[in-house]
Amino acid sequence: MASQRARILAAADGSLPIPFGASGTREALLIGFVAAGGNWVGSFARGTTDTGLDAALHDVGPITVVIASGTAYFVDREAQLLVHAALPGIDAVLTHADGSLTLSDGSFLHTIARDCGVTRSARIAWNGIRALCEIDGVIHGEAYSARDRGWSEFQLPRADNAGQAKRVPTA
């Protein structure tokens, strides 16, 4: 679900932004946050990869996940700080009906629960993950293998996100 408590800004609207991530030569992504203690602005260093996720915002419980050019930041809106290390290389986002979120970095799946706990699957692919969806509590997708030079289906029960994905034979 897109964020209801944060928005992308064209400029800092007079507020001094709080910096997140190392600043480089690329222009930072400015995000305005709505918090009980007062609104504030964050400046997020953009990732170095072009994953197609240039700017995305998702609320998960008390945090907002900010994705800036493929780097995911987990921000506590009230405390104005990161609650988990930034994850680079994010190329896909899967939102769940319960408000949790699953991110793909091309090798692993990272799930952010409503209580803000983050779990990481065992390695699913070496060279890419695509076509993520959830059916009856099971995450389905395709994993690329350079060795096999092709895509194969996988399934991962959400309750077992920290476990190994089950490969599904393809006909």
In angstroms, the Cα distances linking 115 to 20, 58, 77, 127 are 22, 14, 14, 30
In terms of domains, do 64 and 138 share one? no
- Residue where a domain terminates, one of 63, 87, 111: 87
d(Cα 170, Cα 38) in Å, to the nearest integer? 53
Last-in-domain residue among 18, 53, 87 = 87
Number of domains in the chain: 2
Is 38 found in the same domain as 10?
yes
pLDDT, tens digit only, all 171 positions of the chain? 578 889 989 887 777 889 888 755 457 889 999 999 899 999 998 876 666 667 888 988 889 999 988 899 999 999 999 988 889 989 899 999 888 899 999 999 999 888 888 889 999 998 899 999 999 989 999 999 888 889 999 999 886 555 554 444 333
pTM of the model: 0.83
Q: What is the residue range of 49's domain? A: 1-87
